[in-house]
């Protein structure tokens, strides 16, 4: 059975895990901490079977989050709250 609420939590968690991984790597290597949203999406959701559903969920997430912000040119970065969340994952 499909469970849209559970799926959305899974999508949000996968997105945050990918962003946190990229954030740590960028900081460790002195690279920018703004990431291409499409690259993040492809890494986080390559194996997710219902890509249409992921697209809809990600569009909802694009509307606003305390953990990340969308920038021009399809870029995304963690907010201070998002960075704190990543620290709690460690």
Q: What is the pLDDT of residues 39-87, one digit of tens each?
A: 888 888 777 666 676 667 667 766 667 888 888 888 899 999 999 999 8
Q: Report, in angstroms and rounded to the nearest whole number, the Rg of the chain calculated over CA atoms.
A: 13
* DSSP letter (8 states) at residue 67: S
Report pTM.
0.81
The phi, psi pair for 20, rounded to 5°, reads -65, -40
What residue ranges define each of the domains in the chain, with the CATH number in brackets?
4-89 (1.10.10)
pLDDT over threshold 90, residue 28: yes
Q: Which residue has the tokens 């201070």?
A: 80
Token pair recorded at residue 66: 């305390």
Ranges of beta strands (E only) in the chain are 35-36, 68-71, 75-78
Of 23, 21, 18, 78, the C-alpha closest to 45 is 18
pLDDT over threshold 60, residue 19: yes
């Amino acid at each position: 059975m499909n469970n849209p609420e559970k799926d959305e939590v899974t999508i949000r968690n996968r997105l945050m895990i990918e962003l946190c991984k990229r954030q740590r790597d960028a900081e460790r290597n002195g690279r920018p901490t703004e990431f291409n949203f499409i690259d993040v999406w492809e890494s986080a959701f390559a194996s997710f079977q219902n890509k249409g559903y992921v697209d809809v969920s990600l569009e909802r997430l694009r509307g606003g989050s305390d953990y990340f912000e969308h920038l021009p040119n399809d870029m995304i970065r963690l907010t201070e709250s998002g960075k704190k969340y990543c620290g709690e994952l460690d």
